[in-house]
Protein backbone atom coordinates (compact mmCIF):
# COMPACT_ATOMS: atom_id res chain seq x y z
CA UNK A 1 0.00 0.00 0.00
CA UNK A 2 2.65 2.50 1.03
CA UNK A 3 4.80 1.72 -1.98
CA UNK A 4 1.80 2.76 -4.07
CA UNK A 5 1.67 6.00 -2.08
CA UNK A 6 5.28 6.63 -2.88
CA UNK A 7 4.63 5.80 -6.47
CA UNK A 8 1.88 8.35 -6.79
CA UNK A 9 4.02 10.92 -5.02
CA UNK A 10 6.77 10.08 -7.47
CA UNK A 11 4.28 10.70 -10.26
CA UNK A 12 3.50 14.10 -8.78
CA UNK A 13 7.18 14.95 -8.63
CA UNK A 14 7.61 13.71 -12.17
CA UNK A 15 4.71 15.92 -13.21
CA UNK A 16 6.22 18.97 -11.58
CA UNK A 17 9.61 18.20 -13.09
CA UNK A 18 8.16 17.73 -16.54
CA UNK A 19 6.29 21.02 -16.33
CA UNK A 20 9.46 22.70 -15.19
CA UNK A 21 11.49 21.17 -17.99
CA UNK A 22 8.80 22.15 -20.44
CA UNK A 23 8.87 25.82 -19.48
CA UNK A 24 12.68 25.80 -19.57
CA UNK A 25 12.70 24.34 -23.04
CA UNK A 26 10.03 26.81 -24.04
CA UNK A 27 12.11 29.79 -22.98
CA UNK A 28 15.22 28.34 -24.57
CA UNK A 29 13.42 27.62 -27.81
CA UNK A 30 11.50 30.89 -27.91
CA UNK A 31 13.66 32.35 -30.58
CA UNK A 32 13.46 29.17 -32.65
CA UNK A 33 9.69 29.05 -32.25
CA UNK A 34 9.39 32.63 -33.36
CA UNK A 35 10.75 31.59 -36.74
CA UNK A 36 8.04 28.94 -37.12
CA UNK A 37 5.21 31.24 -36.19
CA UNK A 38 2.84 31.39 -33.23
CA UNK A 39 4.26 29.80 -30.06
CA UNK A 40 2.35 26.93 -28.41
CA UNK A 41 0.12 28.21 -25.62
CA UNK A 42 0.39 25.96 -22.56
CA UNK A 43 -2.67 27.35 -20.88
CA UNK A 44 -4.68 25.35 -23.43
CA UNK A 45 -3.32 22.16 -21.90
CA UNK A 46 -4.26 23.20 -18.40
CA UNK A 47 -7.73 24.19 -19.57
CA UNK A 48 -8.45 20.47 -19.71
CA UNK A 49 -8.10 20.03 -15.96
CA UNK A 50 -9.55 23.45 -15.11
CA UNK A 51 -13.18 23.84 -14.27
CA UNK A 52 -15.33 25.75 -16.76
CA UNK A 53 -18.92 26.46 -17.71
CA UNK A 54 -18.67 24.44 -20.88
CA UNK A 55 -18.85 20.69 -21.43
CA UNK A 56 -17.30 19.47 -24.65
CA UNK A 57 -18.53 16.07 -25.74
CA UNK A 58 -18.22 14.58 -29.22
CA UNK A 59 -20.74 16.40 -31.50
CA UNK A 60 -22.21 18.17 -28.45
CA UNK A 61 -21.01 21.44 -27.00
CA UNK A 62 -22.91 22.13 -23.80
CA UNK A 63 -22.92 25.65 -22.45
CA UNK A 64 -24.04 25.38 -18.84
CA UNK A 65 -26.31 28.13 -17.50
CA UNK A 66 -24.73 30.79 -15.31
CA UNK A 67 -26.55 32.40 -12.40
CA UNK A 68 -25.61 35.50 -10.47
CA UNK A 69 -23.78 34.57 -7.26
CA UNK A 70 -25.78 34.19 -4.08
CA UNK A 71 -24.63 36.34 -1.15
CA UNK A 72 -24.60 34.49 2.16
CA UNK A 73 -22.92 36.12 5.19
CA UNK A 74 -20.85 38.40 3.02
CA UNK A 75 -19.66 35.53 0.84
CA UNK A 76 -20.44 35.51 -2.84
CA UNK A 77 -21.25 31.92 -3.66
CA UNK A 78 -21.55 31.05 -7.34
CA UNK A 79 -23.94 28.14 -7.53
CA UNK A 80 -24.04 27.94 -11.31
CA UNK A 81 -23.24 24.42 -12.53
CA UNK A 82 -19.77 23.87 -13.96
CA UNK A 83 -18.11 21.09 -15.93
CA UNK A 84 -17.17 19.35 -12.71
CA UNK A 85 -20.70 19.61 -11.35
CA UNK A 86 -21.89 18.08 -14.61
CA UNK A 87 -19.54 15.12 -14.18
CA UNK A 88 -20.36 14.85 -10.47
CA UNK A 89 -23.97 14.35 -11.49
CA UNK A 90 -23.08 12.00 -14.38
CA UNK A 91 -20.96 9.86 -12.03
CA UNK A 92 -23.68 9.84 -9.39
CA UNK A 93 -26.38 8.79 -11.87
CA UNK A 94 -24.14 6.17 -13.47
CA UNK A 95 -23.22 4.76 -10.07
CA UNK A 96 -26.83 4.76 -8.89
CA UNK A 97 -28.00 2.93 -12.01
CA UNK A 98 -25.22 0.31 -11.88
CA UNK A 99 -25.55 -0.38 -8.19
CA UNK A 100 -29.35 -0.42 -8.08
CA UNK A 101 -29.38 -2.87 -11.02
CA UNK A 102 -26.98 -5.11 -9.05
CA UNK A 103 -29.11 -4.80 -5.92
CA UNK A 104 -32.25 -5.78 -7.86
CA UNK A 105 -30.58 -8.97 -9.07
CA UNK A 106 -30.78 -10.26 -5.49
CA UNK A 107 -34.58 -10.31 -5.68
CA UNK A 108 -34.37 -13.18 -8.15
CA UNK A 109 -31.68 -15.21 -6.42
CA UNK A 110 -29.20 -14.87 -3.59
CA UNK A 111 -26.43 -16.02 -5.92
CA UNK A 112 -24.85 -13.05 -7.73
CA UNK A 113 -24.25 -13.02 -11.49
CA UNK A 114 -22.35 -10.68 -13.77
CA UNK A 115 -22.60 -7.07 -12.64
CA UNK A 116 -23.85 -7.89 -9.16
CA UNK A 117 -20.92 -10.29 -8.68
CA UNK A 118 -18.52 -7.38 -9.35
CA UNK A 119 -20.45 -5.00 -7.10
CA UNK A 120 -20.64 -7.63 -4.40
CA UNK A 121 -16.90 -8.27 -4.55
CA UNK A 122 -16.18 -4.56 -3.98
CA UNK A 123 -18.94 -4.30 -1.38
CA UNK A 124 -17.63 -7.25 0.61
CA UNK A 125 -14.11 -5.82 0.30
CA UNK A 126 -15.20 -2.45 1.72
CA UNK A 127 -17.28 -4.06 4.45
CA UNK A 128 -14.84 -6.76 5.58
CA UNK A 129 -11.44 -5.23 4.78
CA UNK A 130 -12.02 -1.50 5.34
CA UNK A 131 -15.07 -0.78 7.50
CA UNK A 132 -15.45 -3.54 10.07
CA UNK A 133 -11.74 -4.01 11.00
CA UNK A 134 -11.47 -0.27 11.85
CA UNK A 135 -14.91 0.33 13.29
CA UNK A 136 -15.65 -2.96 15.03
CA UNK A 137 -19.14 -4.41 15.36
CA UNK A 138 -20.60 -0.98 16.30
CA UNK A 139 -19.57 0.32 12.88
CA UNK A 140 -22.17 -1.64 10.92
CA UNK A 141 -24.37 1.47 10.67
CA UNK A 142 -21.55 3.43 8.99
CA UNK A 143 -20.93 0.78 6.31
CA UNK A 144 -23.42 2.33 3.82
CA UNK A 145 -21.68 5.73 4.14
CA UNK A 146 -18.25 4.17 3.53
CA UNK A 147 -19.63 2.16 0.61
CA UNK A 148 -21.00 5.33 -1.00
CA UNK A 149 -17.67 7.10 -0.43
CA UNK A 150 -15.67 4.27 -1.96
CA UNK A 151 -17.90 3.66 -4.98
CA UNK A 152 -18.48 7.36 -5.70
CA UNK A 153 -14.80 8.28 -5.55
CA UNK A 154 -13.91 5.21 -7.60
CA UNK A 155 -16.37 6.01 -10.35
CA UNK A 156 -15.37 9.70 -10.38
CA UNK A 157 -11.70 8.74 -10.65
CA UNK A 158 -12.44 6.30 -13.45
CA UNK A 159 -14.74 8.59 -15.41
CA UNK A 160 -11.85 11.03 -15.76
CA UNK A 161 -9.95 8.45 -17.79
CA UNK A 162 -12.60 8.48 -20.51
CA UNK A 163 -11.77 10.91 -23.32
CA UNK A 164 -13.79 14.16 -23.22
CA UNK A 165 -14.75 13.54 -19.61
CA UNK A 166 -13.31 15.48 -16.67
CA UNK A 167 -12.24 14.11 -13.31
CA UNK A 168 -14.30 15.82 -10.61
CA UNK A 169 -11.94 14.47 -7.93
CA UNK A 170 -9.07 16.38 -9.56
CA UNK A 171 -10.73 19.57 -8.39
CA UNK A 172 -9.74 20.57 -4.88
CA UNK A 173 -13.22 21.99 -4.21
CA UNK A 174 -14.82 18.61 -4.90
CA UNK A 175 -12.38 16.76 -2.65
CA UNK A 176 -12.94 19.47 -0.04
CA UNK A 177 -16.67 18.73 -0.18
CA UNK A 178 -16.00 15.03 0.28
CA UNK A 179 -13.59 15.78 3.13
CA UNK A 180 -16.19 17.99 4.85
CA UNK A 181 -18.66 15.08 4.74
CA UNK A 182 -15.92 12.82 6.11
CA UNK A 183 -15.17 15.37 8.85
CA UNK A 184 -18.82 15.47 9.88
CA UNK A 185 -19.04 11.67 9.87
CA UNK A 186 -15.85 11.33 11.95
CA UNK A 187 -17.11 13.77 14.60
CA UNK A 188 -20.65 12.38 14.56
CA UNK A 189 -19.51 8.79 15.01
CA UNK A 190 -17.21 9.81 17.86
CA UNK A 191 -19.97 11.79 19.61
CA UNK A 192 -22.44 8.96 19.10
CA UNK A 193 -20.04 6.35 20.47
CA UNK A 194 -18.74 8.33 23.47
CA UNK A 195 -21.41 10.91 24.23
CA UNK A 196 -20.87 14.64 23.84
CA UNK A 197 -19.23 15.10 27.26
CA UNK A 198 -16.60 12.45 26.67
CA UNK A 199 -16.08 13.77 23.16
CA UNK A 200 -15.23 17.22 24.57
CA UNK A 201 -13.14 15.68 27.35
CA UNK A 202 -11.13 13.87 24.71
CA UNK A 203 -10.12 17.24 23.24
CA UNK A 204 -8.16 17.99 26.42
CA UNK A 205 -5.93 15.04 25.68
CA UNK A 206 -6.28 13.88 29.28
CA UNK A 207 -3.58 16.22 30.59
CA UNK A 208 -3.48 18.52 33.62
CA UNK A 209 -5.89 21.47 33.31
CA UNK A 210 -3.04 23.97 33.27
CA UNK A 211 -1.91 22.53 29.96
CA UNK A 212 -5.35 22.72 28.40
CA UNK A 213 -4.57 26.06 26.81
CA UNK A 214 -1.91 24.31 24.74
CA UNK A 215 -3.61 20.95 24.35
CA UNK A 216 -7.04 22.04 23.19
CA UNK A 217 -5.84 24.03 20.14
CA UNK A 218 -3.58 21.15 19.15
CA UNK A 219 -6.38 18.61 19.43
CA UNK A 220 -8.81 20.87 17.56
CA UNK A 221 -6.20 21.40 14.86
CA UNK A 222 -5.79 17.64 14.72
CA UNK A 223 -9.49 17.25 13.99
CA UNK A 224 -9.12 19.41 10.90
CA UNK A 225 -5.77 18.18 9.59
CA UNK A 226 -7.09 14.65 9.05
CA UNK A 227 -9.84 15.57 6.56
CA UNK A 228 -7.57 18.24 5.09
CA UNK A 229 -5.02 15.53 4.32
CA UNK A 230 -7.78 13.41 2.78
CA UNK A 231 -8.82 16.33 0.59
CA UNK A 232 -5.35 17.23 -0.65
CA UNK A 233 -4.18 13.64 -1.13
CA UNK A 234 -7.09 12.72 -3.41
CA UNK A 235 -6.97 15.97 -5.36
CA UNK A 236 -3.20 15.88 -5.89
CA UNK A 237 -3.11 12.23 -6.88
CA UNK A 238 -5.90 12.60 -9.41
CA UNK A 239 -4.29 15.72 -10.87
CA UNK A 240 -0.80 14.31 -11.11
CA UNK A 241 -1.53 11.66 -13.72
CA UNK A 242 -3.47 14.08 -15.90
CA UNK A 243 -0.70 16.65 -15.82
CA UNK A 244 1.92 14.04 -16.74
CA UNK A 245 -0.20 12.77 -19.66
CA UNK A 246 -0.82 16.34 -20.86
CA UNK A 247 2.86 17.17 -20.52
CA UNK A 248 3.89 14.12 -22.52
CA UNK A 249 1.44 14.98 -25.29
CA UNK A 250 2.43 18.65 -25.03
CA UNK A 251 6.00 17.68 -25.90
CA UNK A 252 4.84 16.87 -29.42
CA UNK A 253 3.46 20.36 -29.90
CA UNK A 254 6.36 22.00 -28.14
CA UNK A 255 8.99 20.40 -30.36
CA UNK A 256 6.71 20.73 -33.38
CA UNK A 257 7.97 17.36 -34.49
CA UNK A 258 6.30 13.99 -35.03
CA UNK A 259 9.57 12.32 -34.05
CA UNK A 260 8.60 12.78 -30.39
CA UNK A 261 5.40 10.75 -30.71
CA UNK A 262 7.01 7.26 -30.48
CA UNK A 263 8.28 8.31 -27.07
CA UNK A 264 5.47 10.44 -25.70
CA UNK A 265 2.51 8.27 -26.76
CA UNK A 266 3.72 4.98 -25.17
CA UNK A 267 4.72 6.92 -22.06
CA UNK A 268 1.29 8.58 -21.95
CA UNK A 269 -0.31 5.14 -22.33
CA UNK A 270 1.80 3.86 -19.45
CA UNK A 271 0.76 6.79 -17.26
CA UNK A 272 -2.87 6.17 -18.25
CA UNK A 273 -2.59 2.58 -17.07
CA UNK A 274 -0.92 3.80 -13.90
CA UNK A 275 -3.84 6.17 -13.42
CA UNK A 276 -6.20 3.22 -13.63
CA UNK A 277 -4.33 1.76 -10.67
CA UNK A 278 -4.20 5.10 -8.86
CA UNK A 279 -7.96 5.57 -9.33
CA UNK A 280 -8.66 2.37 -7.40
CA UNK A 281 -5.91 2.95 -4.83
CA UNK A 282 -7.04 6.48 -4.03
CA UNK A 283 -10.68 5.42 -3.63
CA UNK A 284 -9.42 2.71 -1.26
CA UNK A 285 -7.11 5.07 0.63
CA UNK A 286 -9.74 7.77 1.12
CA UNK A 287 -12.28 5.23 2.39
CA UNK A 288 -9.80 3.34 4.53
CA UNK A 289 -8.46 6.49 6.20
CA UNK A 290 -11.99 7.79 6.81
CA UNK A 291 -12.86 4.47 8.44
CA UNK A 292 -9.62 4.57 10.42
CA UNK A 293 -10.27 8.10 11.73
CA UNK A 294 -13.83 7.15 12.62
CA UNK A 295 -12.52 4.07 14.39
CA UNK A 296 -9.96 6.14 16.31
CA UNK A 297 -12.67 8.54 17.47
CA UNK A 298 -14.93 5.68 18.55
CA UNK A 299 -12.21 3.57 20.13
CA UNK A 300 -11.92 5.79 23.23
CA UNK A 301 -15.44 4.69 24.13
CA UNK A 302 -14.39 1.04 24.19
CA UNK A 303 -11.37 1.85 26.33
CA UNK A 304 -13.43 3.76 28.86
CA UNK A 305 -15.98 0.98 29.00
CA UNK A 306 -13.20 -1.48 29.64
CA UNK A 307 -11.76 0.76 32.39
CA UNK A 308 -15.17 1.06 34.00
CA UNK A 309 -15.58 -2.70 34.17
User: Binding to another protein by residue 66, rule CB under 8 A?
Assistant: no
- Residues 171, 51: contact at Cβ < 8 Å? yes
Min dist. Cβ of residue 11 to another protein (A): 16
Contacts by residues 2-11 (CB-CB < 8 Å, ≥ 24 positions apart)? 4/277, 4/278, 4/281, 5/285, 7/274, 8/237, 8/240, 8/278, 8/281, 8/282, 11/237, 11/240, 11/241, 11/244, 11/271, 11/274, 11/278
Distance (Å, rounded) from C-alpha 305 to C-alpha 246? 54
Length of the chain: 309
Please, what sign has the CA dihedral across residues 126, 92, 182, 48?
Answer: positive
Of the candidate spans 175-183, 214-222, 262-270, 286-294, the one that interacts with another protein by CB under 8 A turns out to be 175-183
Nearer to another protein, 168 or 297 (CB): 168
Distance CA 48, CA 55 (A): 11
Instruction: Establish if 158 lies at the interface with another protein (CB under 8 A).
Output: no
Between residues 79 and 200, which has the closer beta carbon with respect to another protein? Answer: 79
Region near another protein per CB under 8 A, out of 35-43, 142-150, 276-284, 297-305? 142-150
129 makes contact with another protein (CB under 8 A): no
Among 84, 194, 226, 233, binds another protein (CB under 8 A): 84
The residues in 33-62 that bind another protein, with binding defined as CB under 8 A, are 46, 49-51
Residue 113 makes CB contacts below 8 A (sequence gap 6+) with 105
Q: Does 151 bind another protein (CB under 8 A)?
A: yes
Task: Give 104-133 as a DSSP string.
Answer: HHHHH-SS--HHHHHHHHHHHHIIIIIIHH
**Interaction between residue 221 and another protein (CB under 8 A):** no
Q: Which residues pair with 241 in a beta bridge?
A: none
**22 makes contact with another protein (CB under 8 A):** no
Residue 106 vs 270, nearer CB to another protein: 106
Widest pairwise Cα distance in the chain: 83
Cβ proximity to another protein, 9 vs 219, nearer residue? 9
- Does 15 bind another protein (CB under 8 A)? Our answer is no
Residues that bind another protein (CB under 8 A): 46, 49-51, 69, 75, 77-82, 84-85, 88-89, 92, 95-96, 99-100, 102-104, 106-107, 110-111, 116, 119-120, 123-124, 127, 143-145, 147-148, 151-152, 168, 170-174, 176-178, 180-181, 239
Amino acid sequence: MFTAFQETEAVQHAAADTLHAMSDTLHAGAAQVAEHGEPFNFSHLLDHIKDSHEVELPFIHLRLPEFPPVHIAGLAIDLSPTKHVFFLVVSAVLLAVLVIISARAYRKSLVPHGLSALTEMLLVFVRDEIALPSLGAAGVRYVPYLLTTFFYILIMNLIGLIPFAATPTANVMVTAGLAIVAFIMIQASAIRAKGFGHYLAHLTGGVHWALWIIMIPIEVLGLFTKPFALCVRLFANMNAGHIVVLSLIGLIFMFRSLAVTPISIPLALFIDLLELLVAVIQAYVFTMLTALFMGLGMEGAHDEEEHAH
